[in-house]
Amino acid sequence: MNQASLAPWACHPARSRGRRVAEPASPPRNEHQRDRDRIVHSTAFRRLVYKTQVFINHEGDLFRTRMTHSLEVAQLGRSAARALALNEDLVEAIALAHDLGHTPFGHAGQDTLHECMRAHGGFEHNLQSLRVVDSLEARYPAFDGLNLSFETREGILKHCSRRHAERLCAAEADGPAQRFLAGTQPSLEAQLVNLADEIAYNTHDIDDGVRSGLLSLEQLADVPLFAQWQQAVLAEHPALATAPGRRLLFETLRRMLSALMGDLIDSTAAALATAAPADVDAVRALPAPLAGFSPDVRAQTTALKRFLFSALYRHPQVVQTTGLARKVVAELFAAYLARPAEMPEDFAAATDLPRSVADYVAGMTDRFALREHQRLTGRRVFGD
Ligand code: MG
C-alpha cells in the first residue's frame, strides 16, 4: 500500500488518532501494519482456529472456523480497499480482529453466555472483541491488551448499546464508543470490513451447508442471488449439471462472490463521488454509512440471509448440536462461579467474578470447552 495513493477520505496511518498509551514509532511499519502484526501474534487470534463458525469444530475438518472466516474477510476487505484507494492495512487489522471476542460454539455460545451474565451486565461479542485487545491479552510489560490504534479499535467495536456506550465513554470520553452516543459513522475502512464479513459468511455458509449435506442445490435454485449465477454457469458448462464433484457449486459461488464484490466497490465508489467527503472526519460526521451495495443487490442478499437462517441456521441438526453447546457453556459458567479455583489464578483472583468467568469461558476453543466440561461435570456431551 502506497500511502501517497490513498484517497483523501481514507484513514491515513500518519494521521492516526494514536494509542491509549503513547509508543515510539516502529519503522518501517506504519501504525496500522503494527496493529495487524500485534493481532496476528496474539493468543486470542490463534484460538480462532478451533472456534466454530456454524459447525462445531469436531463435525469436520473442512468447514470454516473463525480463523478461516477471518482470513476470508481480510482478503475480501483488502481487495475492496485497494480498488477504492482506502487503507488496506487498517482493513486487514480490523478484519483479523473482528471476531476475537467470539465464544466457543458460535452464536449459541454467545447467547448462552449473555443469559448467564444477564444480572451482571450481559455479554456481547463485539464488546468482548474490544475487551480482548484492550485488556485481556496480557503480553506487554507496560500495558494490558495490545494497545492498538484508535482506528483499529473503532472498527472492532461494530455495535454497542447505549448503556454500554455510556459505560465505555465514562472511562474514555473520546474513545470508539463515543459514536454510538453521537450517532456518527465509523471510518470507511470499518464500514468495508462489515460488508466483507457479510459477503464472506453468506458465501461460505452456502459452501459449508452443501458440504455438510444440510443444504441442497435444488433448495438453492429458489434463491435468486445464487440461482442466477448457477444458470449462467450451466449455460456455459452444461456438463457440470451431472458431473461428479462440486465444480458447479464452486463456480457458482465464485461468480456470486465476484458479483457481490463488484457491486460493493461500484456502489461505494459512486456514493463517494457524490458525497466527496473532505477527509475521514467528514466521513464520520455523515448521517449514514457510504459503503454499501446497490438497492437490488441489497434486496438479494437480504433474501439469501433469510434463506440461510431458516434452511441452515435453524436446521434441526444444527439446532440439536447448538442445544448441546448451550448446555456446555451454561454448565461451565455455573461450575466456575461456584468453584473459581478451577480457573487459572489470574481469573480466579479477579474482583468481578462473574465477568472474569465470562472472560475465561469466552476465550475457550470449542474443544477446550468440551474437555473442561467433562473434567468438571464428569459427563461427556458429544460422543466423538
Ligand atoms: Mg465475522
Distance from residue 59's CA to the centre of ligand 1 (Å): 20
Distance from residue 173's CA to the centre of ligand 1 (Å): 27
Band (pLDDT 50/70/90 cuts) for residue 56 is low
Q: What is the mean pLDDT of residues 269-292?
A: 97
**Quick one: 28-200+258-377 is in which CATH superfamily?**
Hypothetical protein af1432 (1.10.3210.10)
Tell me the one-letter amino acid at 286. L
pLDDT for residue 140 is more than 80: yes
**pLDDT of amino acid 62:** 63
Give the three-class secondary structure for 21. Answer: coil
**Residues near 317 by Cβ (< 8 Å), separated by ≥ 6?**
214
- pTM of this prediction? 0.96
Band (pLDDT 50/70/90 cuts) for residue 107 is confident
Q: Which three cell numbers stand for residue 67?
A: 480463523
Residue 24 has a CB neighbour count (10 Å cut-off) of 5
Distance from residue 278's CA to the centre of ligand 1 (Å): 30
Residues forming beta bridges with residue 19, ordered by sequence position: 149
**Residues near 83 by Cβ (< 8 Å), separated by ≥ 6?**
265, 269
Tell me the one-letter amino acid at 175. G
Q: Which three cell numbers stand for residue 64?
A: 470454516
Band (pLDDT 50/70/90 cuts) for residue 106 is confident
Distance from residue 376's CA to the centre of ligand 1 (Å): 31
Distance from residue 194's CA to the centre of ligand 1 (Å): 8
**pLDDT of amino acid 63:** 78
Q: Which helix (H) or strand (E) holds 109?
A: helix 106-116
Band (pLDDT 50/70/90 cuts) for residue 382 is confident
**pLDDT of amino acid 52:** 81
pLDDT for residue 172 is more than 60: yes
Band (pLDDT 50/70/90 cuts) for residue 169 is very high
Tell me the one-letter amino acid at 97. A
pLDDT for residue 60 is more than 80: no
Distance from residue 95's CA to the centre of ligand 1 (Å): 8
Handedness of CA 311, 312, 313, 314 (dihedral sign): positive
**pLDDT of amino acid 209:** 93
pLDDT for residue 265 is more than 60: yes
Distance from residue 229's CA to the centre of ligand 1 (Å): 24
Distance from residue 236's CA to the centre of ligand 1 (Å): 33
**pLDDT of amino acid 57:** 58
CB-based contact 311:220 (threshold 8 Å): no
**pLDDT of amino acid 354:** 98
Residue spans of the domains in the chain: they are 28-200+258-377
DSSP per-residue codes, 342-384? GS-HHHHT-SSHHHHHHHHHHH--HHHHHHHHHHHHS--SS--
CB-based contact 236:216 (threshold 8 Å): no
Q: How far is CA 260 from the centre of its chain?
A: 18
CB-based contact 18:30 (threshold 8 Å): no
Distance from residue 280's CA to the centre of ligand 1 (Å): 24
Task: Give me the percent of the chain exceeding a pLDDT of 70.
Answer: 97
pLDDT for residue 59 is more than 90: no
Distance from residue 195's CA to the centre of ligand 1 (Å): 10
- pLDDT tens-digit readout, 184-234: 999 999 999 999 999 999 999 999 999 889 999 999 999 999 999 999 999
Mean pLDDT, rounded, of the chain: 94
Distance from residue 124's CA to the centre of ligand 1 (Å): 14
Distance from residue 316's CA to the centre of ligand 1 (Å): 23
- pLDDT tens-digit readout, 323-375: 989 999 999 999 999 999 999 999 999 999 999 999 999 999 999 999 999 99
Distance from residue 197's CA to the centre of ligand 1 (Å): 5
Band (pLDDT 50/70/90 cuts) for residue 383 is low
- pLDDT tens-digit readout, 30-54: 999 999 999 999 999 999 999 887 7
Q: What is the mean pLDDT of residues 102-122?
A: 94
Residue with cell string 456431551: 381
